[in-house]
Structures are given as structure tokens and as C-alpha cells.
């Protein structure tokens, strides 16, 4: 796809200091791949040992490696400012704290036409008067992944309405689709499969999930459970399951690249997050695949898992409520099928990759000459 006639070829740089591979990094790659398809010129600055840098190289995206060490910030900022001017970069989009400060300073020194600061999760700031500069002084426009984060930032940093936009990560609805192969999971046929798909982090709510499993097991429910994801010490989470008395009931299958197939193999996806949650990509992906979803009322989850419309919600940290919602999802089949259908329709209409890219282009056009 080439840019429409009223959009010139933009030279866009993204920066990401994280070395991990989770929802935030997926979002960066989604924007890189999307604008590459639309005929723009793309660069990524990332840590040399990061997964995102390696994946960008595989896609043929221009990359620059950076250690993002605080002690080198002054010299790195000057070096990158010179590089930004030489490359005639139109847009700099920063995604994490360290690269936000470094590229923010460099872009201002280089007088880059548009500086975007993206924020993917909802966190607290110990010194808002200092953090504010990352989203005002060193940002022309702020992007967040949920209305909750947007509302928080407007209040905390006094950001004007026209300088901040909620824009969850768009989903490729041709890949995340109800029709398609199902992953072969280590489960027995004929019994429902309930799972979590996320990086292994404490705030993703695995403890709540394991508590709910124990409740369902004690009730005699014949349900199978899987945990999908890497990014943490799997042994720690396996011990956590054992400590909750459900180690034998949970299959840990690690990181998977075939997420659409995994989601189609699940009867229910659980998102029991306890904090730091924007609009979770896995929730949108599951809805696009027609998989039933139950999630906590954390962060931006209720913005897409709309109670009784696209899924079922439960209070943060309430394992008993999660267990009840799982039972309702399995037992109330007509309601569940209605929500699955509505979820797919919502994603196609409002949260597809092309919708996200169109909205981004509209923001860029506000700041950049045609």
C-alpha cells in the first residue's frame, strides 16, 4: 500500500529501550510494519540485545542500536540530534522512560517536526512535576492505550485535549479470525479449556487465576487450564501454582508465536490483571478470534470487555468472582455466543490495524506539512 495522494513519504523513527517482548513491543512493531506497508520510511532505535531490534532487522527496517545508559545521556543526545538532522526525520515516537528522555532531548535539539510520546501502561509517578516534562516539554502529542490513562494524564500533567489521544493497538482481523487452525495444546479432548496468555509478570494476576482454579476444582468442575507466555522465570510461576495446590491442573506451555491458533483453541481467555493495564492487546485479539473473554475491571480492560456485551468482568483480585464468571461463560452458552459475536464486530469496526493507522496518519497530518 502506498500513501494516499495528500500524504507525502514520512521519515518515522521509533525508540524502545526495553529488552523484553510483550504488548508494548508488539505495539511498536505494529506501527513500524503498518507504516512500512503504507510506503513510509522507518527506523528503530533499540537496545542491541533486545528482541525488538532483531525482529525489526528481519523485516528490513532500518535499525540503530543504543545502550540507553544514563551516564551517557548528554553525549548520546548530541550524537542522536546530529543523526536525526542528517536523516531528516519527520517523526520521533518514544515508548519507554529512558528512550523517552534521550530521544526527547535529541529531537528538540534537532528540531524534529513532530515528537510523539507513547504510554502503554498505567503507572504512578513519584515526582509528577519532573515526569510532566516527558509528556509536555519533550512531546508535541501524547498517545495512550486506554481512556483511563488519558484521563489520568490530563489531570496529572495538565495536558490539553487536543494534545493527547487514546489509541489502542490495532489488530490484524484477517489473522485474528474465528476461522482458522487451532493449536495443539496438552489437553484432553471433550473438556473445556480455559487459559491465560500474557508475559509472566506479577501484575498479570496469575495468583488470582490459580485461586480460581482451586475453587473450580473443589466444586468438581471438569475444566482444563493452560498458561501461555514467557518473559519471566517460568519455574517461579510453576511453584506458585503448586503452592496454590493446582500445579497438576495447569499446563504451562511457554512463549508461543501462533497466538491466533492458541486463542481459537481456548474456550475462555482470562485476563485477571491487578495493575498497570491499558487496553490489553490479547483481549482484542481474543475477541477478534471469537474467543470468550472474562477480565478484571483493571485499567482499560472494561473499555473492551464490556460487561454483558462483549464479555464478563469481575472485581480486581476476586478469585471467587472469576470462578463464577468462568462457570457462567461455560453454562450460559447463548449469552456467551452473543457476546463473542459482538466482540468480533467491535474489533473489526473500531480496533483493526487499518483503523489505528488511519488515526495515526490523521494525527501526523495535523503537525506535518503535506
One domain for residues 17 and 166? yes
One domain for residues 27 and 144? yes
Does residue 84 fall inside a structural domain?
Answer: yes
Does residue 175 fall inside a structural domain?
Answer: no
One domain for residues 22 and 160? yes
Does residue 339 fall inside a structural domain?
Answer: yes
- Count of domains observed in the chain: 2
pLDDT at 143: 97
SS3 301: helix
pLDDT at 121: 83
**Residue 298: which CATH number?**
3.40.50.2000
Does residue 27 fall inside a structural domain?
Answer: yes
Does residue 136 fall inside a structural domain?
Answer: yes
One domain for residues 89 and 154? yes
Q: Which domain holds residue 360?
A: 11-170+352-367
One domain for residues 241 and 345? yes
One domain for residues 23 and 163? yes
pLDDT at 6: 53
pLDDT at 231: 80
pLDDT at 80: 98
Does residue 184 fall inside a structural domain?
Answer: no
pLDDT at 248: 94
* Helix (H), strand (E), coil (C) string for the chain: CCCCCCCCCCEEEEEECCCCCCHHHHHHHHHHHHHHHCCCEEEEEECCCCHHHHHHHHCCCEEEECCCCHHHHHHHHHHHHHHHHHHCCCEEEECCHHHHHHHHHHHHHHCCCEEEEEECCCCCCCCHHHHHHHHCCCCCEEEECCHHHHHHHHHHHCCCHHHEEECCCCECCCCCCCCCCCCCCCCCCCCCEEEEECCCCHHHCHHHHHHHHHHHHHCCCCCEEEEECCCCCHHHHHHHHHHCCCHHHEEEEECCCCHHHHHHHCCEEEECCCCCCCCCHHHHHHHHCCCEEEEECCCCHHHHCCECCCEEEECCCCHHHHHHHHHHHHHCHHHHHHHHHHHHHHHHHHCEHHHHHHHHHHHHHHHCCC
pLDDT at 23: 86
One domain for residues 212 and 73? no
One domain for residues 293 and 362? no
One domain for residues 129 and 223? no
Calpha distance 33→175 (Å, rounded): 15
pTM of this structure: 0.88
Does residue 5 fall inside a structural domain?
Answer: no
* Consecutive 10-residue averages of pLDDT for the chain (370 residues): 63 95 92 96 97 95 96 97 98 96 98 96 87 95 95 94 96 96 94 96 95 97 96 90 95 95 98 92 97 96 97 98 98 98 98 96 91
Amino acid at each position: 500500500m502506498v500513501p494516499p495522494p495528500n500524504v507525502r513519504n514520512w521519515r518515522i523513527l521509533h525508540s524502545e529501550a526495553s529488552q523484553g517482548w510483550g504488548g508494548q513491543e508488539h505495539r511498536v512493531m505494529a506501527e513500524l510494519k503498518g507504516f512500512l506497508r503504507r510506503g513510509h520510511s522507518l527506523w528503530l532505535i533499540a537496545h542491541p540485545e533486545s528482541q525488538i531490534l532483531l525482529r525489526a532487522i528481519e523485516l528490513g527496517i532500518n535499525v540503530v542500536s543504543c545502550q540507553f545508559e544514563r551516564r551517557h545521556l548528554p553525549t548520546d543526545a548530541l550524537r542522536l540530534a546530529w543523526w536525526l538532522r542528517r536523516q531528516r526525520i519527520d517523526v520521533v515516537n518514544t515508548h519507554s522512560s529512558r528512550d523517552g528522555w534521550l530521544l526527547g532531548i535529541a529531537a528538540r535539539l534537532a528540531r524534529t517536526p513532530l515528537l510523539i510520546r507513547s504510554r502503554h501502561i498505567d503507572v504512578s509517578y513519584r515526582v509528577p512535576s519532573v515526569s510532566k516534562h516527558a509528556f509536555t516539554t519533550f512531546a508535541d502529542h501524547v498517545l495512550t492505550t486506554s481512556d483511563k490513562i488519558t484521563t489520568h494524564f490530563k489531570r496529572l500533567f495538565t495536558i490539553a485535549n487536543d494534545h493527547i489521544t487514546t489509541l489502542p493497538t490495532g489488530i490484524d482481523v484477517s489473522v485474528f479470525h474465528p476461522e482458522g487452525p487451532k493449536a495443539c495444546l496438552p489437553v484432553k479432548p471433550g473438556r473445556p479449556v480455559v487459559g491465560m496468555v500474557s508475559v509472566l509478570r506479577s501484575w498479570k494476576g496469575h495468583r488470582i487465576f490459580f485461586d480460581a482454579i482451586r475453587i473450580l476444582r473443589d466444586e468438581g468442575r471438569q475444566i482444563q487450564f493452560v498458561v501461555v507466555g514467557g518473559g519471566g522465570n517460568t519455574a517461579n510461576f510453576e511453584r506458585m501454582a503448586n503452592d496454590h495446590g493446582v500445579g497438576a491442573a495447569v499446563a504451562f506451555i511457554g512463549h508461543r508465536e501462533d497466538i491466533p491458533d492458541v486463542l481459537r483453541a481456548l474456550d475462555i481467555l482470562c485476563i485477571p490483571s491487578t495493575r498497570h493495564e491499558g487496553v490489553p492487546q490479547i483481549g482484542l485479539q481474543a475477541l477478534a478470534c471469537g474467543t470468550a473473554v472474562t477480565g478484571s475491571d483493571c485499567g482499560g480492560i472494561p473499555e473492551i470487555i464490556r460487561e454483558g456485551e462483549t464479555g464478563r468482568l469481575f472485581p480486581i483480585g476476586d478469585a471467587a468472582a472469576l470462578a463464577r464468571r468462568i462457570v457462567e461463560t461455560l453454562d450460559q452458552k447463548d449469552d456467551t455466543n452473543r457476546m463473542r459475536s459482538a466482540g468480533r464486530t467491535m474489533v473489526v469496526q473500531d480496533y483493526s490495524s487499518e483503523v489505528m493507522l488511519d488515526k495515526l496518519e490523521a494525527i501526523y497530518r495535523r503537525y506535518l506539512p503535506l
